[in-house]
Amino acid sequence: MIELSVCVGSSCHLKGSYNVIQTFQQLIEEYKLHDKISFKAGFCMKSCDREGVAVSFCGEKYSVKPEDARVFFKNTIAKGCEGFHDK
């Protein structure tokens, strides 16, 4: 199972982590990836100095702006899931 977490610490909360979480949840539903992705919220990922919300995916840290969450999911997360078909 692929691990995905979004920081909900103070800094990321102010940068829009709630919106990133909502987008990711919607896309996990849309692409039926429940059995492939373990999705969690996490506390401080020590990336407060970055511009976007801290996201951890398969051991890698990313910075995602809420307005870019859909594209990030499609280009990075969904492609990391075996059997993903572009919609």
pLDDT tens-digit map of 14-36: 999 999 999 999 999 999 998 99
Return the structure tokens found at 54. Answer: 């801290």
Q: Is residue 86 part of a domain?
A: no
Q: Residue 27's closest CA among 7, 59, 79? A: 79
Residue 83 has pLDDT above 80, yes or no: no
Task: Give the CATH number for residue 38.
Answer: 3.40.30.10
Mind listing the pLDDT tens digit for each residue in 67-79? 999 999 999 998 8
Q: Is residue 32 part of a domain?
A: yes
Sign of CA dihedral 18, 19, 24, 25: positive
What is the model's pLDDT at position 5?
97
Structural domain count of the chain: 1
What is the model's pLDDT at position 59?
87
What is the model's pLDDT at position 12?
96
Q: What is the residue range of 7's domain?
A: 2-80
Are 54 and 14 a contacting pair, CB within 8 Å?
Answer: no
Q: Is residue 87 part of a domain?
A: no
Angle at 64 between CA 20 and CA 30, to 5 degrees: 45
